[in-house]
Amino acid sequence: MSGADRARTTTTAARVDRPGRTTATARTVTDVLQPRNVLLAGMLGIGVASAGHWTGLLWGFLGALCAGLVPAGYIEWERRRGTWGDRHVVDRTQRAPIFLVILGSLGTGALIMVLGHAPRGILIAMISLWVMTTVLLAVNTVWKISVDAAVSSAVVALLCVVHSPWWLTAGTLTLAVCWSRVALRYHSVAQTVAGASLGAATAAGFLFS
């Protein structure tokens, strides 16, 4: 094989491999920054900020449990039953039960917080997420808005309010989530932008409290 042939072969291989590397990177990003993980880290931070001391971690964990861990467990249970192929549930028409589980779980968590006199900030965050999920459910009936983008943006917005505006820099993680969802062809750019915009709006709950 001549030098020119080897160069052409190398270039062709690189072109073929590049989409594969992009897909692998996007899948890693979307798995690491999935709602369950983002909510676990975010709600713990919101809980601490709301309480002003470490006991807020307990309220934060309750929030993470109801907002992210319980829904993720439900999705995994249905996946093992063969209802869905994976956690992404790419068919929009199959997503309604997930939203209903999230709403029920968030509502239960918020009720426990009210009865337990939880810090105001974590309770507002729970109610804001409940409202966001209601809107996601309504939009999902006609359009596959991105839940991952909404959750990521919501957590960043809520942390900005209860902690510091410096948390806006974490918006780069939301951009990464949006990119990964588009790169994997789970959503269009418009669907991720809409989801991220809705998530950011959750911080408005603190303006009316």
pLDDT digits (tens, 9 = 90+) for 122-166: 999 999 999 999 999 999 999 999 999 999 999 999 999 998 889
Mean pLDDT, the chain, as a whole number?
Answer: 90
Residue 28 lies in a domain: no
Residue 128 resides in a domain: yes
Looking at per-residue pLDDT, the higher value among 9 and 196 belongs to 196
Domain that holds residue 53: 36-206
Q: Please indicate, yes or no, if residue 16 is contained in any of the structural domains.
A: no
Predicted pLDDT of residue 144: 95
What is residue 142's three-state secondary structure?
A: coil
| Residue 21 within a domain | no
pTM of this prediction? 0.88
Q: Does the residue 4 lie in any domain?
A: no
Whether residue 20 lies inside any domain: the answer is: no
| Coil, strand or helix at 185 | coil
Which residue, among 95, 177, 100, 71, has the nearest Cα to 143 in the 3D structure?
A: 95
Q: Is residue 18 part of a domain?
A: no
Q: How many CA atoms lie within 13 A of 64 on its CB side?
A: 22
**Length, in residues, of the chain:** 209
